[in-house]
Each structure stands twice: as C-alpha cells, then as structure tokens.
Amino acid sequence: MTSTPSSARRRTRRIATAVAASAFSIALVAGCGSGGGDSATPAADGQPVTITFWGWAKGTQEVVNAFNASHKNVQVNFESIPSGVAGGYAKISNAVKAGNAPDLFNTEYGQLPDFVSQGAVQDITKLLNADLKAKYLPQSVELTTLGGKSWALPLDAAPQAFFYRKDLFEKAGITSPPKTWDEYRADAEKLKNAVPNSRIGTFFPDDPSTFEALSWQNGAHWFTGVSDTWRVELNGNDTKRVTDYWQKLLSDDLVRVQPSFSQQWTASLQKGETAAYLGAAWGGGVLKGTVPDASGKWAVAPVPTWDGKPASGMLGGTTFAVSKDSKKAKAALEFAQWATTTPEGIQARISSGTSSMFPAAPALVPVAKAAFNTDFYGGQDIYSVFSAAAESIKPNWQWGPAMAATNSSVKDAFGKLGQGGTIQAAIDAGQQATVAEMKNRGLKVSE
Amino acid sequence: MTRHILRTTSSRAVTVRRRGRSGAPAVLLAPFLILFTACTLIPIGYAVYLSLFSERRSGLGFGGSTSVFTGLGNYTRALTDHAFLDGFANIAQYCLVYIPVMVGFSLLLALLLDSTLARARRFFQLALFMPHAVPGIIAALIWMYLYTPGISPVIDALNAAGTQADILGHPLAAVVNIAAWEWTGYNMVIFYAALQAIPREVLEAAVVDGAGPLRTAFSVKIPLIRASLTMVGLFTMIGSLQLFTEPMILHGTAPGVTSAWTPNMYAYTAAFERGDYGLAAASSVLLAVVAAALSLIVTRISRSRSDRRTEVTR
C-alpha cells in the first residue's frame, strides 16, 4: 500500500468529510443552546416592536389576534404552552434560566411569588401608574404586589363557584344547590343513594389549588410575611376543619378521586358519574368545552360555605408578568394592559366561547357578561353569581415564595390517598417541605 | 523466499502505521471526541460546578437572589432527603419485579422460537420485536390511555367482568408492564441469537441421550447461554437507574407516581419545578456515580468470565 495520487486524494476527501461531520455536529450542539436572541427595534423608526408571549388561558389566541389587528406599533407573537401545573411553569423557569424566555408570560397568582423569588420576573413598579392600578380589584392588586413592588398585571379574579347538573340533582330530590358544607354532604349522600354510580364532586390529587381555595375560604392563612419573616401555617385550625371534612367525604366514598381536567374526569362527567364540580369563575368556560353535549343541563351556584354567609377563596387566577431579561417591558405591558383593562380585550377573550373568566377590572364585568353565550347554563346569568362571589373573596391571603415546593410535596402525598395516605399527612408533609425549602433559600421562617 | 516476502510486507506495514499515526486516527477519533467532550464531559463538568452552589435570598425573598458556594451542601441535602432515597428504593423494587418478569418472558419466547416446534419463525421474530420499535414516550402515552378507567376498553372489560381493576393505583405494576412490553422482544432477539450459536452437535448429543425438549432447554440450552442472561440482567439493572420517560408520563394521570418516583425524576423536579439547580445537579452527579459504580462491577464480572472461559478452552 504505497501512497498513490488516487489514495492520497481519497484520504484528503475522507479528512474533509470527517471535519465537515464534526463541524456539523458542533453546529448542532451549539444550535440547542441558542435561540431567543434579542432583536429589539425601537418603534421610532416605524418598525413595530414584536414581543413574544407564552400563555395558556382560554381565548388568548383570539385576544392576540384582535390586538395585532388593531395595533401597528406593537405586535404579539403568541405561543400556547401547557397550563402551569401541567408543565407550563417548568417550561417558563427553564427558559428564564437558559436565557431564551419570552418577553411576557402568564402565571397564576399562586406561582408569582415563587417566580419573583427565583428572579424570573421584572419589577414593573415604575411602568404602572395609579390610574391603571385603580382599575383592578384591590385583592388582585394585593396579590401582584410583593415586597412593596408591582410584578404583574392581573387578568382575572377567580372567585369560587359551584357547577352542578340540574337533571341529576332533581333525580336525587335535591331541590336547590347546597348553601352550606353540611348541606353539601347531605346532598352527596342523597345523590349517591338515588344514582349509585354518581358522585357530587371530585377531589383532585394532582393539584392542591382547590384545597387551598377551600382553606382560604375558611379564613386560613398559609403564609404571612411580617417585616422580614415568613409565618408558615399550613396546618392551622382553619385548614384542619377543611381537611377533616374532606377526609370524611373521601372515607365515605362520597366524592371521586381523579386528576383535574384529566381524561378520567372528563369521561366521568360525560357519563354523569360526576354530577358537580367545585371550580372558579373560569371553570364555566372550561366545563362548557369539556362536556359540550351536556348543554342546558348545567347550572352555577355560589360555593357552599361553613355558616351559610357568602365567602370565597380564589382558585387560580391569571396574571401577566414580564420576564427578567426582556428589553421590551414597555411594549409587553402595553399588550397586557390592553388585554386586561379594555372592553376590546375582554370582549375578544370571552366571545371566543371558551373563557368565562371574571375580569380583575370590575368595570368590565358587563362586557364579559354580554359576550358570554350562556346557552350551556340554560341562559342563567352566571356573571351575577360570579360578581357576588368576587365581593365575598376573603382579603389578606398571601401566597408563599416557594409554592412549587409546597405544591409538589402536597401533591406527592395526595397521590398516596388511595394507599392509606390521609389529607392531614399530605398537609403536614407540605408544611415540612415548605419550611425546609424556604430555610434553604436563606429566608427567615417562623412556624 | 517466502520468509523474505513476509519480512517486506511486515516492514511495509510498520512504515504505513507510522505514517498514519499522525493523521488517520486523529481524524477518525475527532468526531467522537468532539461530541463526547461537548455532550458528556462538559455537561458533567458543568453539573459538578452547579452542584457546589446554592441560591440564597434575604428578607421575604423578593429582592432577588445571590449564588453562594455551599461546597457539598447540596449533596448532603440530597442524601438526607427521603424523596431522593425513596427513588432508589423504587428502582430497587422495580428491578426485583421487572428483571425476572422481562428476562423470563424473553427467554421463554427465545426458547420457543429456537425449539423444533416453532412455525413461521421469521414472522414471530419480527412481530415480537415490533413493540421495541415504538419509542418509549409513545408507548407510555398509549398505555396511559389503556390504564385510565372510563376511556380504556381493557379496564372497562375487566370491570365488566367483576374485577375492580385499578392499575393507576399501583405505579410499580403500571411501569413494569410498559417496560416489559418495550424490552421483551429486544432481549428475546439477543437470547435467540445466543441459542442459535449453540453447536448443533451438543443438541444432537442431548437428543441421542434421550433428552426431551424441556430437558434440553433446562439442562443444555439455558446453561450454555448463561453469559447472555447475566449480561442482559446487569445491563437492564443499570438501564433501570435511568428510568424517567414512562413514570414521568404516568405522573400526570397516576398521582401515585410521585414527582420524585425515580432519582431522575427527583432531579427533574428539583430543577424545573422548584428552580433548585444546585440540588438537581448534585442528585444527578450522585446518580451518575451509582451508575458508574454498577457499570464498573459489570465490566469486572464480564471480564473475569471471559478470562475463565479462555482458560477453559486453552
């Protein structure tokens, strides 16, 4: 094997191929890490500023379309992501860490303090004026103001609501929806007796937010920030009452245990095996989209309370936050403000037919009411129910700065409900994990 | 004459090797080394670096965070966290159930294919291997539907037959089943190939000695492919440490599959749900160390086995 011209050429070609291949692989590897580069062009030169926006709230695409059609200086590039608990929050924090986060994203009130604490969102205090803040419900402003600074614009308040199947309730001889938790239990028994396959509600083991709202409704305060110390009290007496009540419903097989918005839950609603849903205002649109065939059979009532007087917590509720590194905060807020405080923004969302959210700007409730088609609820004036509920939202609830840790530990323990676990054990686990996580972050905690 | 030719060829080979030493090996190794460095060494180095830091905040925590060097603090936290250790316990349980079930089925199928009774060998070989061609994530999604009461025909049929089937309430069984479908066909092919390599004289001798098919399988075939059996078992064990996709998909539907059901899921949750990258990196490094230790043991075992075998042949 001597080096002939031809073999030498072959070798050169081989080297070239190898080099090209390795260069290609490097490019591939590099490609994974880049993206989301900032091409901020000031609106002054006539070019519109394009912002990127991630969210999952129903009707968002319609809102973005309407905004883009009516605005020349700012254009929104919307990407629909999975809901927060279903992986959306993971996606957002991951993107922030990797430096390719969108300019604007949706987060629920509960997750906002965690994002602030992680340094994922921008302080927008200086970009908001008092007039704008005055448009929102005080509870919503309170939940988006942390450490004296503003971090997000609220889209909706999420007063709790009780959705039920009129026909199934009638069959069970339940003439009016339960006003108190005692009545709820009695009705649960009636329903199970009359329709053995059917249950009055669902305990969601994959998402503690309903349980949190119920604790909130009973006056619990899981987190209280006093000067520079957090008081963490997941296992206080107000929560315990809720815990014991639901534990008993579970033990007596009066409610189902199914993941929230799962195929399982949907199938059970479709078959009438679940006759009611403890949700929030936004649940009205979700329910309509989940079981469209049951149109006209559903109705809405205020959430049952302990003493029969109106009271509500907040279950979910979406806000718009600007990501830490965004250089287009002003443009992003222009869109967020339009989406949350203008009749056009609310109208576009509600008339999509998929959303029944209760605007955080109360002046726009009539707009929402007019835009929502209530055929599914037999023409019932559902927004009046939501309005009354919104007024009864208990003030001074605070979300903790490590809600992801709180929720994931509670969730994991809820997962053991089928195998001898209890709600109390889950809440205790949540308390412990939360305190450990907060201490690890260097925060002062008192239990 | 012959000797002379031999000598020239060998001396020429030496010169070629010497000339090529600088060029060809470097070029041939470069793509591997570059990718290995970029995709394995650098990420591991970065993970080790990340694992030494923690994010600290002050006051109520809304004033932003600072990265603080905490040494082995994250490792201590991971090792004292029940959730992390439970993940390893889950893997151990999983191996105890999964390996015998999967290896048993693969072996059974391979023996059946190898037996004189088998018809349409090619077809069954392919058909049994098919499930392996379905990517794990797709398989997990399909199984998720098949497990969900109310939409699964299987569960509905079982319930109609009077059983209270609740496989989502039994995470271990749910995950083992998915994995078994995925890997039985694959390992069956390995066993079948090993069985085919058994010298036919040995089998003939067994038949002449009056051994029936069962006796041949247990006393001749299985002992002769013991090396493949051990290898498959050990590799499956190491692979099980990396278990992630299937339980992660089930996590959404089966609350019993907790967010830290396997060590990999623990790292994922720490990083992407709780934003604790230090802890995530530390737990990943610990997992890598365990996997490396196991791999080392496996190579040791396999080397000593092959050494022994060469000695026997010698």
Give the residue on A whose Cα is nearest the Cα of B33: A22
> Which of A4, A22, A94, A229 should we substitute to test contact with B (largest number of B Cβ atoms within 10 Å)?
A22
CA A274 – CA B65 distance, rounded (Å): 45
Grouping H, G, I as helix, E, B as strand and the rest as coil, residue A407 is: helix
pLDDT in the model for residue B252: 79
pLDDT in the model for residue B19: 53
pLDDT in the model for residue B309: 55
Backbone region of residue A308 per phi and psi (left: phi > 0; alpha: psi in -120 to 50; beta: other values)? left
Asked if residue B20 is part of any domain, the answer here is no
Minimum mean pLDDT among A201-205, A283-287, B1-5, B187-191: which range?
Answer: B1-5
Q: What is the pLDDT along chain A (447 residues), one digit of tens a residue?
A: 334 444 444 444 444 444 444 444 444 433 343 333 333 444 456 689 999 999 999 999 999 999 999 999 999 999 999 988 888 998 998 899 889 999 999 999 999 999 998 889 999 999 999 999 999 999 999 999 998 999 999 999 999 999 999 999 999 999 999 999 999 999 999 999 999 999 999 999 989 999 999 999 999 999 999 888 999 999 999 999 999 999 999 999 999 999 999 888 999 999 999 999 999 999 999 999 999 999 999 999 999 999 999 999 999 999 999 999 999 999 999 999 999 999 999 999 999 989 999 999 999 999 999 999 999 999 999 999 999 999 999 989 999 999 989 999 999 999 888 788 999 999 999 999 999 999 989 999 987
pTM of the full structure: 0.84
Contacts of B274 in chain A (CB under 8 A): 402, 404-405, 408, 437
Taking each helix axis from N to C terminus, what angle separates B171-196 and B121-133, rounded to the nearest 10 degrees?
140
Asked if residue B181 is part of any domain, the answer here is yes
Cβ of residue B20 closer than 8 Å to a chain A Cβ: no
| pLDDT exceeds 60 at position B285 | yes
Burial of A263 (0-12, 13-18, 19+ CB in 10 A): middle
Alpha-carbon separation of residue B27 from A8, A15, A22, A166, A174 (angstroms): 15, 6, 10, 75, 80
Contacts of A230 in chain B (CB under 8 A): 60-61
Residue with token string 């700012």: A74
Structure tokens at B124: 């069954």
pLDDT in the model for residue B20: 52
The number of domains in chain B is: 1
Please identify among residues 29-48 of chain B the ones whose CB lies closer than 8 Å to any CB of chain A. 30-31, 34-35, 38-39
Asked if residue B145 is part of any domain, the answer here is yes
Give the tens place of pLDDT for each residue, B215-266: 999 999 999 999 899 889 988 999 999 999 999 999 878 888 999 999 999 9
Contacts of B16 in chain A (CB under 8 A): 1
Asked if residue B46 is part of any domain, the answer here is no
Report the Cα B154 to chain-centroid distance in Å.
28
Please identify among residues 116-145 of chain B the ones whose CB lies closer than 8 Å to any CB of chain A. 145
Give one DSSP letter per residue of A96-130, joined into a string.
HHHT---SEEEEEGGGHHHHHHHT-B---GGG--H
Give one DSSP letter per residue of A283-302, joined into a string.
HHHHHHHH-GGGTTSEEEEP
What are A230's strand-pairing partners? Answer: A225, A445
Stated as kind and residue range, the H or E segment containing A412 is helix A403-414
Residue B17's pLDDT band, with cuts at 50, 70 and 90, is low
Report the Cα A437 to chain-centroid distance in Å.
22
State phi, psi for A279 to the nearest 5 degrees.
-130, -150
Q: Among the residues of A201-251, which ranges form H helices?
A: 209-217, 237-251
State phi, psi for B238 to the nearest 5 degrees.
-65, -40
Please identify among residues 252-271 of chain B the ones whose CB lies closer than 8 Å to any CB of chain A. 252-260, 269, 271
Cβ of residue B61 closer than 8 Å to a chain A Cβ: yes
Asked if residue B307 is part of any domain, the answer here is yes
Instruction: Flag if A438 and B166 touch (Cβ within 8 Å).
Output: no
Give the residue on A whose Cα is nearest the Cα of B145: A263
State phi, psi for A71 to the nearest 5 degrees.
-125, 135
CA A432 – CA B28 distance, rounded (Å): 55
Of B59, B256, B276, the CB nearest to A418: B256
Asked if residue B210 is part of any domain, the answer here is yes
Grouping H, G, I as helix, E, B as strand and the rest as coil, residue A180 is: strand
Instruction: Flag if B65 and A441 touch (Cβ within 8 Å).
Output: yes
Contact criterion met (CB below 8 Å) for B202 and B224: yes
CA-atom Rg of chain A in angstroms = 25
For residue B264, give the nearest of B145, B90, B136, B135 by alpha carbon. B90
Minimum mean pLDDT among A215-219, A347-351, B88-92, B146-150: which range?
Answer: B146-150
pLDDT in the model for residue B184: 95
Query: Which residues, 6 or more positions from B271, have their beta carbon under 8 angstroms from its beta carbon?
Result: A94, B277, B280, B281
Contact criterion met (CB below 8 Å) for B53 and B70: yes
CA B193 – CA B189 distance, rounded (Å): 6
Q: Angle at Cα A146 formed by Cα A92 and Cα A392, nearest 5°?
A: 100
Distance from CA of A92 to the nearest CA of B (A): 9
- Mean pLDDT across the stretch B166-192? 92
User: Which domain, by its residues, includes B120?
Assistant: 85-313
Query: What average pLDDT does the structure give for chain B?
Result: 86
- ipTM given for this complex: 0.79
Instruction: Flag if B275 and A86 touch (Cβ within 8 Å).
Output: no
CATH number at residue B226: 1.10.3720.10
State phi, psi for A25 to the nearest 5 degrees.
-65, -35
Asked if residue B6 is part of any domain, the answer here is no
Q: How many CA atoms lie within 13 A of B292 on its CB side?
A: 7
Structure tokens at A427: 């809440």
Give the residue on B whose Cα is nearest the Cα of A121: B64
Alpha-carbon separation of residue B205 from B113, B194, B209, B226, B309 (angstroms): 20, 19, 6, 20, 22
Asked if residue B19 is part of any domain, the answer here is no
Query: Which residues, 6 or more positions from A118, have their beta carbon under 8 angstroms from its beta carbon?
Result: A93, A96, B55, B65, B275
CA A34 – CA A38 distance, rounded (Å): 11
Domains of chain A, first to last: 47-157+316-378 (3.40.190.10), 160-315+396-446 (3.40.190.10)
